[in-house]
Chain A
Amino acid sequence: MKRRSFIKQGSIVSMALATGLHATDFYKPKVSSLTILHSNDVHSRIEPFAQDGSKYAGLGGAAKRASLISKIRSQQEHVLLLDCGDIFQGTPYFNFFGGELEFKLMNEMKYDAATIGNHDFDAGIEALDKQARPASFDLINCNYDFKDTIMHDVVKPYRIFQKGDIKIGVIGVGIALEGLVPQTLYKETQYHEPIARANKYAQMLKHDEACHYVICLSHLGYKYRGDKVSDQDLAAQTAGIDLILGGHTHTFLDEPTLLSNKEGKPVYVNQVGWAGIVLGQMEIQFEKNFKKKCVSCKPQLIK
């Protein structure tokens, strides 16, 4: 288990201010915490990988993920549980039961939201609709237009969650489907360039809706050598997003990557490989204080 503490770079000023003012500090600022749990590209890996000596033997499995989630929920008050797509495809559970068990288990684990991956269309948009419609969590995406499809009233561009004092906006973006998924499966779903859409909704959530924190669930991929849109581009070319949780490229990261958004503000990008081998857990502490003051803001990476 890898544990890392770190803090946005922009807070060094606030830290210095806070330290300077410490002697005159006669009140304790209000704090609030949020736990973000996330998975991506679980690919129908209901059971752990078989104990056959292969690379991932014995790893993953829904029952293990669920017990860890329960344990964390018993310790933390404010938990958001999110998935970044490709819930489907990869084991016969999907071929046989069409994604029914995948969604049932996610309901049981009380997922709050998920975005859509390219493989989630693998049994056709009707099959995805059949599982998503009665689900207890929302599918979130703002760059696929479903208006001419069966899913027009199922997928939401964003959602707002209130966790204690903290208001969290969640948006979702998906990868270009053409060439990746047969059109016979995604039907009349229209793809739009994700960066402009993400930017629009992040701005709206940060400013009009006054969200304290904005998360983007992405199935674009962590990074590419070519000019395909990745989470790196999404981070650098948007404003208002605090955290990008990604998928598609099955990238295992030891810790979230810190990047600058187009206003020079910090944005974290994370991804937890695939197959439910790792459950990401981000603990965020918020402090209510004057704009230029923050007592608990940590200035550097602590290992």
Chain B
Amino acid sequence: MIKNRLHFFLLALMLLLLSACTKVWHTAQYDYTANRLDSTAVYEAQIQDMIQPYKIKLDKEMNEVIATCPEDMSKQGPESMLGNWMSDVLYDKAAELSDVPIDFAMQNTGGIRIPMLRKGDITKGKIFELMPFDNSLVVVHIDKALLMTFMERVARSNGWPVSKGFYMKIKNKKVAEIQINGEELTDRIYNVALPDYIANGGSDCPFLKGCDRTIYPVLLRDMFVERATRDKVITAKKEGRIVN
């Protein structure tokens, strides 16, 4: 009995010593470098060679001049030349494809990815910079109440790019007056052309998510390329579509 106890004691002691001797891996030191890849960095030839065939194909496509722009076109709101041109292209395409008459077309200012289209030759690559996202066309069919919710949202951002025939006055980031083709809003269904991003609730428009809609599988970017190629000139007028 005593012998057993001694055995147990020895065993426990051994285990204790063993565990005290166990070594672990400590995380001892950190050293951090943020390597900025500036113009002094070296290029790896093998990678350059891999990029080259893609670059040649891309440059050929992208460097093609498709139109000219006679004057600088900013996207700066509430109303802008660039926003007007893009919204009119959206409107015309929707009007061409839709069975119902389109009331107006709108898009978010943030969806225009360059601050300005500069005067001069416009390449296809520039249109890609303007609209890199694969956004497509949606026509939403909304009643007056939902349209007003939408327009109050737009007024909070001091207006978004909109197509011809639309007039909105914004006062203190709230809608003061709206006319569509010279008419006040009435209790009817409005057909509004939008990028799918907005129609799906993007840019703080969750109220549009479930609404009645027609989806067109045509990319906004392709519409802009098509129109610029056809007209050879990209231009627009500011005519007081949105004022504040």
Contact = CB atoms under 8 A, between A and B. Distances in A.
B43 A179 contact: no
A116 interface: no
Given A67-B44, A92-B62, A95-B128, A277 B21 contact: no
Interface stretch (B27-35, B90-98, B186-194): B27-35
Interface of A: 1-8, 11, 14, 31-32, 46-48, 58-68, 70, 89-93, 95-97, 101, 104-105, 108-109, 122-123, 165-166, 179, 182, 212-213, 242, 253-256, 268, 270, 272, 276-291, 294, 296-298
7 contacts: A61-B41, A67-B41, A95-B128, A96-B57, A213-B27, A272-B34, A282-B30
Contacts of B27: 8, 213, 242, 284, 286
B35 A297 contact: no
Contacts of A297: 26, 28-29
Contact of B202 (A3, A65, A179, A290): A179
B6 interface: no
Given A1-B36, A242-B27, A255-B32, A93 B58 contact: yes
Nearest to A281: B33
A278 B61 CA distance: 30
Contacts of B134: 95, 122-123
A277 B31 CA distance: 20
Contacts of B34: 1-2, 253-255, 272, 278, 280-281
B196 interface: yes
Query: Chain B interface: which size bin?
Result: 35 or more
Contacts of A97: 54
Interface of B: 20-39, 41-48, 50-51, 54-55, 57-58, 61-62, 125, 128, 132-134, 196, 200-202, 206
Given A283-B31, A285-B29, 15 more contacts: A6-B30, A11-B26, A59-B36, A64-B42, A65-B37, A66-B47, A68-B37, A95-B128, A105-B51, A179-B201, A283-B33, A285-B30, A290-B20, A291-B24, A296-B28
Given A290-B23, A298-B28, A92 B58 contact: yes
B17 to A, nearest CB: 12
Nearest to A178: B201
Given A7-B28, A165-B25, A286-B25, A67 B42 contact: yes
Contacts of A1: 33-36
B50 A105 contact: yes
B41 A64 contact: yes
Nearest to A30: B23
Contacts of B25: 32, 165-166, 212, 286-288
A5 B30 contact: yes
A167 B62 CA distance: 47
Given A95-B128, A101-B54, A108 B28 contact: no
Contacts of B58: 92-93, 96
Contact of B43 (A58, A63, A89, A182): A63
A278 B36 contact: yes
A66 B44 CA distance: 6
A287 B20 CA distance: 17
Contacts of A47: 51, 55
A110 B45 CA distance: 16
Nearest to B23: A288
Contacts of A242: 27
Nearest to B221: A95
A70 B201 CA distance: 44
Nearest to B201: A179
A294 to B, nearest CB: 4
A34 B45 CA distance: 27
B37 A59 contact: yes
A8 B62 CA distance: 50
A5 B35 CA distance: 15
B126 to A, nearest CB: 11
A188 B23 CA distance: 47
Contacts of B29: 5, 7, 283-285, 296-298
Contacts of A14: 26
B31 A63 contact: no
A279 to B, nearest CB: 4
The interface centre, meaning the residue of B21, B43, B45 with most chain A CB atoms within 10 A of its CB, is B43
Given A95-B132, A96-B57, A278-B37, A294 B26 contact: yes
Contacts of A89: 132-133
Nearest to A8: B27
Contacts of A64: 37, 41-44
